[in-house]
Amino acid sequence: MGVLALEMFPDEVPGVDWIGVTGDFVRVIDEKCDGCACCVRVCLGECFEIHDKKARVRSLARCMECAACWYVCPKEAIIFNWPQGGTGFRTDWG
């Protein structure tokens, strides 16, 4: 996860930069997850996948830090913390 999304997807999202290494700021609690895939469906960055009937973080490289995954999880199985200031998602549009 330490690779910058900008390096991985250089022209994929115009007007968006990912700054620095943000670490694991989104996690799934296996014991609470029932595999409903709400997080998979809501995530614009395609950060989640279902594996062995549980949600898993595939990669946070394209996470837009919207916290939609955390908000829609009916089992409260998502732990979300915004990355440290100066890192993460930055857009030209506010």
**Taking the model in full, what pTM does it have?**
0.73
Residues facing residue 16 across a β-bridge: 91
Over its length of 94 residues, how does the chain's per-residue pLDDT go in tens digits?
A: 334 444 455 456 667 676 665 567 899 999 999 999 999 999 988 999 999 999 999 988 888 888 999 999 999 999 998 776 666 667 776 5
Q: What is the DSSP letter of 42?
A: H
For residue 41, the one-letter residue type is: R
The single residue listed with the structure tokens 């395609």 is: 46
**Number of domains the chain is built from:** 1
Residue 93, pLDDT score: 67
For 50, list phi and psi in degrees, rounded to 5: -100, 125
Q: Which residues span the domain enclosing 78?
A: 5-91
